Structure 1
Amino acid sequence: MDLFAQQTCSDLCDPWHVGGLALQGRALLAPMAGITDLAMRRLARRFGAALAFSEMVASDARGRDRRESLLRLQGDGVTPHAVQIAGCDPAQMAEAAHRAEQAGADLIDINMGCPARRVTGGAAGSALMRDLDLAQALIAATVRATKIPVSVKMRLGWDRDALNAPELARRAEGEGAVMVTVHGRTRNQFYTGEADWAAIRATVEAVQIPVVANGDCRDAADARKMLALSGAKAVMIGRAALGQPWLVGDIAHQLACGFARASLPAETRRAAAVEHFETLLKIFGETHGLRHARKHLAAYADQAARDGFDIDPHARRRLVESEDPREVQDLLQNLYAPPRKEAA
């Protein structure tokens, strides 16, 4: 029996298409550095996410040759397999796209939305929204280098005085991109304030290809409002999915059906957390895998507490501090304990 097999109305809906890919459901998992590892993507897809994007893979020589970058290209058990690449040199982006396709990618996403200074300082990520000619050249080179669909993720613009996402989306469509995702903030906002979902509508109205809305989507109510305000085809969920890889599928189900699917039992949540941890150990080895897993382990514990499970503070601390994988596995077995009954 597959504990992760969740009945979802999105399976019964007509698929929507991104290039030659047919996607079921209107909720996608965003690419997130340090978070959307292979284990996270695999779980999100099994729980019903229409698509789950890899962590960003740098296209320059340093990023291209790093073992961790090569691991990000892996898509074992994740279909369709979507890889995000970043860079500012057309030739390097073309090579990165070719490598991703050879590694089994079904779709390539170009990062033009990351606000981090370590990315924008190298003229990549959202810095490309200040140089649309270069951005267009990167898209053209990527599309020409591969036979698989190419999408672009962007922000509203660099700042409120330059909301040029519609123009960038038009150029992307003109060069052959099959989908764009717009985060409802500018680069200068980073993650402060609130995402402006209504502002995404200008991009939706500027192109014929599907537009996905991103930013601050935490539940199905957010997703419905986001779609209504933006007119987007689908929503992309980011940080809210940390510690609950089933969230994207839950949202996809509610968008399709109009009602929530049954709450996941403790046994399924526990199995997901255990599989996530054990997969990371297999991918990265015990030492690095354990350290990589800590942000996920903390998130599973914190989300369990928010969902009403009894989380012992000492056990939570040991979960993220332990250097012994066996201790962590034992702690995970008790993670989703029911609330203690108060004494009469």
Structure 2
Amino acid sequence: MLSPQDQFRELLNYPIVLAPMVGLTHVAMRKSLAKYLPQEARVIWPTEMLNSRRLPDQELGETPETLKWDGDEGLCPQILGNDEGYIRDSIAKLTQWDAKAVDINMGCPVRKALRHNYGVSLMGDINYASEVVSMAKRHSTIPISVKIRAGHQKDLDYLLNFTHALIHSGASWLCLHPRLASEKRKGTADWSQIKLLKDNLSVPIIGNGDIQEEDDIKRMLEQTTCDAVMIGRALCAKPWLLSSLAKEMNMSLSPECEELIPKNPRERASAYGEYLKDFVDNCFEFFDQKNALKRIRFFVKVGSPWLNFGHRLHTSIQRLESQQEIQNFLQEFFKNTSLIQSSRTQLRY
């Protein structure tokens, strides 16, 4: 049986991954991002959060959250759950669907998850959380990972005890977003907690939080020695962040990808526009009109704060109703030579 480190290396040979995000990490985003990876890179790709109580009765590949494209490899769907029967049946179905690993969400702070004792609410009880991992491990032939937050309090001893219990129960690797549940996306991610886990645990650790530009990726790897960096909302605006470590890893980018990498704020704005056009086409390829529009509008809401005139882009997209209308608007909007994309944004939503 492979060790957790070997399981991780078998799936990843490149240390930048996309974060699972509701309404965002679906097939259209994965397809738009894939071209930015180095050609030799292997990574895990997330799905949106999937509810283990619903999965057993669904036809995977027919619901919007479980659609795949031909190039989808290394899928690591994320599930919410705390009931062994539902977890068992969900993992069996996801394994048949060709998932390479399954991630348990213990970091989601939204009320809906908290109400059902999913997500970050599991971090309030070490025994309860570790039993959820045991449930998954008992019924899985593929690795089980867990994504967590700093929890409910800044108690580092508790965090270590909690994570040791998850590993003892069978977690193959952990991802830490070091913010409190109450902070959601506010405040500053405490990367020292990622370092704490890396120094004290025997399994791979993925770091997550406050990655907005290439230097952030390199600083997190250097400061925490984590095994991989997970990027969330910034990849809705800056897909080229996935290419950041190609040279350091002696990996090559495709000629198409080389042409997509911007070198200054104006080029970043233009490259963001091309990324949006591709994303729009992918949404209409995979989803019906209602679901495509819903995902496009949310994607623009999330990615536009890095752009000057981003508010205008966001509000305009909300009013458009067809693929052609959106593409025509994007074509004209990004002709504006005064558009620039910032390296960082403090906007929260």
Place the TM-score, normalised by the shorter chain, in its bin. 0.7 to 0.9
> Could you give the per-residue CA deviations for residues 98-133 of structure 1, whole angstroms, max 9, x where no partner exists?
121122211111101111121112111011111121
Match of 1:334 in 2: 332
Q: Which amino acid aligns with 1:101?
A: T
For 1:57, the equivalent position in structure 2 comes to 50
8 Å contact kept, 2:240–2:260: no
Could you say which residue in structure 1 is the equivalent of 2:342? Answer: none
Task: Report deviation, 1:233.
Answer: 1.2
Q: Which residue of 1 aligns with 2:261?
A: 264
Give the 3 Å change call, closer, same or farther, for CA 323–227 of structure 1 in structure 2.
Answer: same
328-337 vs 85-94, which moves further: 328-337
Alignment partner of 1:21 is 2:26: no
Segment drifting more, 154-163 vs 260-269: 260-269
Match of 1:10 in 2: none
SS at match of 1:56: strand
Structure-2 separation of matches of 1:224 and 1:264 = 18
User: Cα RMSD between the aligned structures?
Assistant: 3.2
For residue 180 of structure 1, the aligned residue among 154, 170, 174 is: 174
CA distance in 1, matches of 2:319, 2:184: 30
Q: Matches of 1:321 and 1:284 in 2, distance apart?
A: 19
The answer to whether residue 244 in structure 2 is matched with residue 241 in structure 1 is no
User: For 2:104 and 2:310, how far apart are their aligned partners in 1?
Assistant: 42
What does residue range 48-127 of structure 1 map to in structure 2 within 5 Å? 48=37, 50-61=43-54, 65=58, 70-76=63-69, 77-127=71-121
Q: Which runs of 5+ in 1 are unaligned?
A: 1-15
Match of 1:324 in 2: 322
* Range with bigger deviation, 220-229 or 78-87: 220-229
Measured in 1, the distance between the counterparts of 2:288 and 2:15 equals 35
Aligned to 2:159: 165
What is the aligned partner in structure 2 of residue 12 from structure 1? none
Structure 1 residues 163 and 220 mapped into 2: Cα distance closer, same or farther (>3 Å)?
Answer: farther
Report the 3-state secondary structure (helix = DSSP H, G, I; strand = E; otherwise coil) of the residue aligned with 1:164: helix
Letter matched to residue 251 of structure 1: S
Equivalent residue for 2:344?
Answer: none
Separation in structure 1 between the aligned mates of residue 183 and residue 310 of structure 2, nearest angstrom: 36
Report SS of the residue matched to 1:185.
Answer: strand
Q: Distance in 2 between matches of 1:192 and 1:315?
A: 24
Aligned length: 319
Q: Secondary structure at the match of 1:334?
A: helix
**Residue pairs, 1:198-217, within 5 angstroms:** 198-217=192-211
Task: Give TM-score, length-normalised by structure 2.
Answer: 0.80
Native 8 Å contact 2:60 2:67 kept in 1: no
CA apart distance, 1:31: 0.4
CA distance in 2, matches of 1:149, 1:279: 30
1:46 is aligned, of 18, 31, 35, to 35
Partner of 2:347: none
Identity of aligned residues (%): 25
Q: Offset at 1:340?
A: 5.6
Q: 1:270 to 1:192 in 2, by over 3 A?
A: closer
Aligned to 1:9: none
Aligned to 1:283: 286
User: What is the one-letter code of the residue matched to 2:189?
Assistant: A
Unaligned runs of 5+ residues in structure 2 are 340-349
Asked if 2 retains the 8 angstrom alpha-carbon contact of 1:180 and 1:209, the reply is yes
Question: Helix, strand or coil: the match of 1:205?
Answer: helix
Residues 1:128 and 2:110 aligned together: no
| Aligned mates of 1:217, 1:302 — CA distance in 2 | 15
* Distance (whole Å) between structure 1 residues aligned to residue 133 and residue 235 of structure 2: 29
How far, CA to CA, are the matches of 1:302 and 1:32 in structure 2?
17
Checking the alignment, whether the CA contact within 8 Å between 2:102 and 2:142 is kept in structure 1 is yes
- Alpha-carbon separation, structure 2, partners of 1:60 and 1:119: 12
Shifted more, 55-64 versus 27-36: the winner is 55-64
CA deviation digits over 1:183-209, x for unaligned, max 9?
Answer: 111223222211100122221122211
Q: 1:64 to 1:185 in 2, by over 3 A?
A: farther
- 3-state SS, counterpart of residue 164 of structure 2: helix
Question: In structure 2, do the counterparts of structure 1 residues 262 and 284 end up closer, same or farther at CA, with 3 Å as the change threshold?
Answer: closer
- The reply on whether 1:36 has 2:16 as its aligned counterpart is no
From the superposition, tell whether residues 34 and 255 of structure 1 become closer, same or farther in structure 2 (CA, over 3 Å). Answer: farther
Instruction: Report the AA paired with residue 56 of structure 1.
Output: M
Q: Give 3-state SS (helix, strand or coil) of 2:239's partner.
A: coil
* 1:4 counterpart residue number: none
Change (3 A) 1:17 1:299: same
CA contact 1:159–1:189 (8 Å) conserved in 2: no
**Aligned-partner Cα distance in 2 for 1:47–1:131:** 40
